[in-house]
Amino acid sequence: MFADLLTDFADTGAPHPITVPSSEQFARAIGALGVSNDTHVIVYDQLEGDTWPEYYPFWASRFWWHLRLEGHTKVSVLEGGLAKWKQEGRQIETGPVKVEPTQFTARRQPGLLARVDDVVSAIGANDVLLISALSPAIYSGEKQVYPRAGHIPRSKNVFFGDLIDTSSGRFADPAVVRPLLQQVGALDPAVKPIVYCGSGIAATIVALQLARLGRTDVAVYDGSMTEWVADERRPLQVS
């Protein structure tokens, strides 16, 4: 089944794209795909590594996080996505797929979603860790992609590209990922990680990799840099 994260699973009336919708909208949309609270969902996307770095989709990790946000923990991500599946000569099909709609009860987990006020508070808090998943050049301010350059004050940088193998589409091994996340303090149980990127998509790769290491409490700042830089009163740092 196809989950349209740009429309069915987004608040299209929000000022910024790909904004988390209400739990009620999510429940209707996921129920229409035949997913109940007992369904094990396996999520995949294109993951075409040859388009890196100009284009690299992160929709599987985003939907993995969104399902967990609404209380659904029976969810897995297919490593390598459709591209790797095809490369291995596995079966595919075309045409429409019919499914019986079902009932889904959303049970939102507020701790997995960060709003702008949470990020403002985090800047002055010692028990919250802000992590930017953007490239080092964007994080430092050397490269300007958004209307203002730099990063949210006190945030650390863990580039999502270091957490995946773009040649295969697989997620980097935990043995490779652990030291990268450990050195910024993301595995410290005394702090609450909040990850962000441009629009809350690539950040979910960091959240997923942290979950693989046992941190299932990571929040994603949904508005991320798109929302943050829109208000010039919100501070940025360059390094």
Write down the catalytic residue from 128, 197, 203, 225. Answer: 197
How many Å apart are CA 155 and CA 184, to the nearest integer? 9
pLDDT band at 169 (very low <50, low <70, confident <90, very high): confident
Bridge partner residues of 132 (DSSP): 157, 196
Q: Which amino acid is at 11?
A: D
Residue whose C-alpha is closest to residue 139's, from 218, 70, 237, 14: 237
Sign (positive or negative) of CA dihedral 110, 111, 116, 120: positive
Q: Can the peptide bond before residue 53 be classed as cis, meaning omega within 30 degrees of 0?
A: yes
Q: Helices 174-182 and 203-212 meet at what angle, rounded to 10?
A: 110
Domains parsed from the chain with CATH numbers = 110-228 (3.40.250.10)
How do residues 91-147 score in pLDDT, each as one tens digit? 999 998 999 999 999 999 999 999 999 999 999 999 999 999 999 999 999 999 999
Report the percent of the chain where pLDDT is more than 70.
95
From the number of C-beta atoms within 10 Å of its C-beta (0-12, 13-18, 19+), residue 54 rates as: exposed
Q: Which residue has the higher pLDDT, 170 or 28?
A: 28
Query: Active-site residue 197, yes or no?
Result: yes
How do residues 4-62 score in pLDDT, each as one tens digit? 999 999 999 999 989 999 999 999 999 999 999 999 999 998 766 666 555 556 799 99
